[in-house]
Amino acid sequence: MPLIDMPEFSGELLEEFERRRTVRVNTPVIQPAEPFLDMAGEDLRRRIFLTESETGASLCLRPEFTIPVCLRHIETATGTPKRYSYLGEVFRQRREGAHEFYQAGIEDLGEADIASADARAIADAFGILSRLLPSRPLTVTLGDQAVFEAVVKALGLPLGWQKRLIHAFGDMAHLEALLERLARPQPVAGLDPEIALLLASGNEDELVARIDSTMQATGYSTNASRSPLEIARRLREKRTLAQTQLDGGALLLLREFLTLRLPLSQASAALAGFADAAGLKLGPAIAQFDARVAALSVIGVDLSAMTYRAAFGRPLDYYTGLVFEVTEEGGSAVLAGGGRFDRLLTLLGAKDRIPAVGFALWLDRIETAREAQ
């Protein structure tokens, strides 16, 4: 039995899902914890409720639906394209104080036309909210992780730094801290002086031998998950990353990109202008961005209600391209949020790559907005 009441507008939601020809699914409340811990992101990991099975397996209360829906799709070997909808309780610690609340949404799996699927997800989220909150002005904020990744790669940073920056996308405080480190490199702290000298010398054989002797002397080698060679190479990678400095011009370009914020109708031209002025090759990422904007126009979405922010991301690690949120105009409460997660199903065990996009609706926040209305 649910601990909280189903929102009174749930019937309207189910009608909207049926109109969009989705297949409604449910998933168990108790889920294996590993996929969420590995793929959902630090923000969600901090807030899930963990438990264990009788055999000691790590479990959790369902903190969201995207991963469970994808796992169910893989387990049932259902073909694509497939559109799923869901409505049920999720459990996580939240700033609002509630630990159990209702979430609903749509997951669109396997649609090969990426731009059209992205546009449909945005339009569906906006359309459903417009029905639930009639006459209330709504705004959509969009970001694009693929465009950010293209900018970072075009700057020529080491792969390790690219991964760090991409992982921090959407968290401006974290990004700013990383950019500060790129502007003012710091040495690796806490190293044994002899290890530091061997790292600086570049003599890998001597470094590995020193690490091996230390592990043997301390007894650490019997429980180590990494070999001395792996540890030596990891230390060398950390030293390289710590010493990397982004030149002033490139740093200014990256900061300039992150400040871009403008109506979606002007975003394509702004991105093209930025790439040309900076001399960065962003062609494929910008082409996909343009295709999405065109697809939104084709289905009649009002682009004037949408804002593109280059630095905008969402706190889930599995997003790969489009990210978006819907709020009331002038409000801060996120009523719907979603994006593209093309790598997730492969990471969860799917044999073939399955493109995917979806969104979730936060029903308690929608209910609060309806009551205010």
Q: Alpha-carbon distance 370 to 132, whole Å?
A: 8
3-state secondary structure at position 102: strand
Inside any domain, residue 290: yes
Tell me, yes or no, whether 237 and 274 share the same domain: no
Tell me, yes or no, whether 330 and 300 share the same domain: yes
Inside any domain, residue 129: yes
- 10-residue stretch averages of pLDDT, the chain, 373 residues long: 76 96 95 90 84 90 96 91 96 77 96 97 97 93 96 86 87 88 68 70 76 74 67 66 67 92 96 94 95 96 92 89 95 95 95 96 94 82
335-370 as b/e: b if 16+ CB within 10 A: bbbbbbbbbbbeebebeeebbbbbbbbbbbbbbebe
pLDDT at res. 5: 83
Inside any domain, residue 59: yes
pLDDT at res. 1: 42
Inside any domain, residue 165: no
Range(s) of the domain holding residue 313: 10-151+263-372
Inside any domain, residue 233: yes
pLDDT at res. 247: 67
CATH of the domain at 336: 3.30.930.10
Inside any domain, residue 185: no
Tell me, yes or no, whether 51 and 145 share the same domain: yes
Q: Alpha-carbon distance 145 to 111, whole Å?
A: 19
Tell me, yes or no, whether 368 and 233 share the same domain: no
pLDDT at res. 302: 87
Looking at the 3D structure of the chain, how many domains does it have? 2
Q: Alpha-carbon distance 114 to 124, whole Å?
A: 15
Q: Alpha-carbon distance 126 to 120, whole Å?
A: 10
Tell me, yes or no, whether 102 and 37 share the same domain: yes
Q: Alpha-carbon distance 340 to 343, whole Å?
A: 9
